[in-house]
Homo-oligomer: A and B are copies of this chain.
Amino acid sequence: MSQATGIAERLAWIGVDWGSSNLRAWAMADDGQVLARAGSERGMLALTPDDYEATLLATIGDWLPDDGRVPVRVCGMAGARQGWREAAYLPVPTRLDDLARGAVRPAVEDPRLDVALLPGLCQHPDDAGRRFDVMRGEETQLAGLAAREGEVSGPVCLPGTHAKWARLEAGAVTRFATFLTGELYGLLAGQSVLRHSLAHGPGEDELAEPGCREAFVAAVREVAAAPEAFSSRLFGLRAQDLLDGGLPTGQARGARLAARLSGLVIGLELAGARTVLAEGERVTLVGAETLCPRYALALEALGIDCRRLDGEAAVLAGLGLAHAALPHDAHTPDTRPEP
């Protein structure tokens, strides 16, 4: 018996997080156990609507049984207007156990696939200080948090290229804000005049090197106290590299300045996140082991308490919640289900 056959026998449903630049898929048993993982670099930006079914089959086809139809529950950019088929944004406030009502079912040719795409969330401006904003994918991680903890309330941070801060009230998202943090860091470190002064790229953990945690924390505090100085602090990194005899030399110098740059962009985010974060509240960080410890350090520097939920655990719990809520119909028509 092949591994794939073993999976097919226990397979209850498949979860997919389909982003702009890649997709991750999980074969799930009825009891919530992950039977297998798969992935592909074929994200939304690389695909036209006609490509999705073939890409999905190339990624998870081995898991499918010969007969029967398997529920595939998909969050992320596959549901964007430029994706497989649009699952229109639900406006906040939205209960996190209610995302399935915005799911759409794209037409598929393979009779073994029962695909539903989950919607993202949107926010329009109002008198309470909300601003235009959108998320696609993170709402499913938030739903996972709610699935695990029930009527959860409080601020949640999802670090990343476009970091999200959401405010939850009794299991609903009431407001959120997106920060360009990861993208800003990447552009500044890789393509601005600062690149000459940095020895580390975004993927490396310079904070493990001596003096770098202190440089990171100092930068977080500086920009949180004076966010208006952000742009001049950026150029100041270059000037410090040219003038500061107190910095180490070589690779250690570049690491120190990279830690400072990371602290500046994360510090700006934390300063701005105060619209969703009340005094004395504990922040829930949802994300990977790569970024969350850095955010925890930044929050600690500002005297803010936090805890962490693993990003994969969150998205699987959120997809599972949608799976439980969506009817599994072997002959579902190509229309959005009634609310």
Contact = CB atoms under 8 A, between A and B. Distances in A.
A123 B243 CA distance: 9
Interface centre among A123, A178, A235, A272 (most CB of B within 10 A): A235
A180 interface: yes
Contact of A192 (B183, B227, B231, B244): B183
B231 A269 contact: yes
A131 B232 contact: yes
A183 B193 contact: yes
A295 interface: no
Nearest to A133: B239
Given A124-B243, A228-B227, A191 B191 contact: yes
The interface residues of chain A, by DSSP majority, are classed as helix
A235 B133 contact: yes
Interface in A256-274: 265, 268-269, 271-272, 274
Nearest to A161: B193
Interface in A231-258: 231-236, 238-240, 242-244
A232 B192 contact: no
Q: How many interface residues does chain A have, given as a range?
A: 35 or more
Interface in A265-305: 265, 268-269, 271-272, 274-275
B272 A231 contact: yes
A184 B240 CA distance: 19
A235 B178 CA distance: 6
A242 B162 contact: no
B180 A134 contact: no
A178 to B, nearest CB: 4
Nearest to A193: B183
B131 A236 contact: yes
Interface in A7-63: none
Contacts of A227: 227-228, 230
A49 B192 CA distance: 24
Given A124-B243, A133-B235, 13 more contacts: A122-B243, A131-B232, A132-B243, A133-B236, A134-B239, A162-B193, A179-B231, A179-B235, A180-B231, A183-B193, A184-B231, A227-B227, A232-B272
Interface of A: 89, 122-124, 131-134, 162, 177-181, 183-184, 187-188, 191-193, 227-236, 238-240, 242-244, 265, 268-269, 271-272, 274-275
